[in-house]
């Protein structure tokens, strides 16, 4: 699934810049390898262009039952990005991520970390609500992941916090079957996505059902704060 998603991401990237009227993407080579010098837009504008590119998306079967696409929201210049698995009922109704009961819990966590909701960026692995809030299926993730990849590329957060099993599994590119993947064993230890530190932790919806584990998520959040401070001191 990961390789297929990467190929689709590359295809979407070229389509995206083609929509902007660019006929070629220049490449700069250096001693350490080749890197793409992509044309730059202000981050908010680039996110707006991406949202327009997505349009009234019908790329997977999740579109059949959704009310609204939940693109994501927040500060495009943030140092921290929270990524969940998919919209729920309230999110689907409002077209905004994490606005239900789980969202209120996430807001409290963000505030406890010393931020406001508008200081961070919040998104999901898939942008349409899975029926009955089930986990997104492999083909749905493969269709939608390209857009999250582009959002991360635009925002360039210093740290990503993945919320729940599906988000951690997808962002960390785990090779084992998801049925064998445990967020309980994985949370609290930094992984990496394209050079960005990733902290896997529990999904707020899980914490609503298991409030005794809130202190574990707070431990993870404290580790994120320390990581952010460390990265700031180096820059």
Q: What whole-number distance in Å separates Cα of residue 117 and Cα of residue 61?
A: 31
* Residue 153 predicted with pLDDT over 90: yes
pLDDT at 41 (0 to 100): 83
CA 43/CA 72 separation, integer angstroms: 14
pLDDT of 31 higher than 60: no
Question: Does position 146 have pLDDT exceeding 80, yes or no?
Answer: yes
Provide the domain count of the chain: 1
DSSP at 52? H
Pick from 10-14, 49-53, 68-72: least confident: 10-14
- Check pLDDT > 80 for residue 33: no
What pTM was computed for the model?
0.84
pLDDT band at 29 (very low <50, low <70, confident <90, very high): very low
pLDDT value, residue 18: 57
What CATH number does residue 41 fall under? Answer: 3.40.470.10
Identify the pLDDT of residue 16: 56
In the predicted model, what is the mean pLDDT of residues 146-157? 98
In sign, the C-alpha dihedral spanning 127, 110, 230, 218 is negative
Range of the domain at 82: 2-234
The mean per-residue pLDDT over the stretch 164-171 comes to 98
- pLDDT above 70: residue 12: no
Determine the pLDDT at residue 36.
Answer: 37
More confident residue, 25 or 105: 105
Residues above pLDDT 70, as percent of the chain: 83
CA separation (Å) from 55 to 16, 97, 178, 179? 12, 18, 30, 33
Average pLDDT over the chain, rounded to an integer: 88
Average pLDDT over residues 113-118: 97
Cα separation of 20 and 230, whole Å? 37
State the helix-helix crossing angle for 138-155 and 2-19, rounded to 10 degrees.
50
Side-by-side strand order, sheet with 159-163: 73-74, 121-124, 80-84, 159-163, 196-201, 191-193
């Amino acid at each position: 699934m990961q390789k297929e998603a990467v190929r689709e991401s590359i295809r979407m990237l070229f389509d995206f810049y083609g929509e902007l009227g660019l006929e070629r993407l220049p490449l700069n080579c250096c001693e350490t390898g080749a890197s793409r010098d992509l044309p730059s837009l202000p981050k908010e504008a680039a996110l707006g262009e991406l949202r327009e590119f997505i349009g009234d998306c019908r790329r997977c079967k999740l579109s059949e039952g959704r009310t609204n696409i939940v693109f994501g929201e927040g500060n495009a210049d943030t140092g921290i990005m929270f990524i969940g698995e998919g919209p729920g009922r309230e999110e689907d109704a409002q077209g905004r991520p994490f606005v239900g009961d789980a969202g209120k819990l996430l807001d409290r966590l963000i505030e406890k970390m010393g931020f406001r909701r508008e200081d961070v960026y919040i998104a999901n692995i898939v942008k349409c609500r899975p029926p009955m809030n089930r986990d997104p299926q492999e083909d749905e993730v493969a269709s939608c992941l390209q857009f999250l990849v582009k959002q991360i590329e635009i925002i360039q957060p210093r740290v990503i916090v993945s919320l729940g099993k599906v988000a951690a599994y997808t962002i960390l590119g785990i090779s084992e079957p998801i049925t064998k993947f445990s967020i309980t064993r994985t949370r609290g230890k930094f992984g990496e996505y394209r050079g960005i530190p990733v902290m896997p932790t529990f999904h707020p919806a899980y914490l609503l059902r298991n409030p005794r584990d809130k202190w574990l998520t707070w431990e993870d959040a404290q580790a994120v704060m320390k990581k952010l401070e460390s990265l700031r001191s180096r820059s």
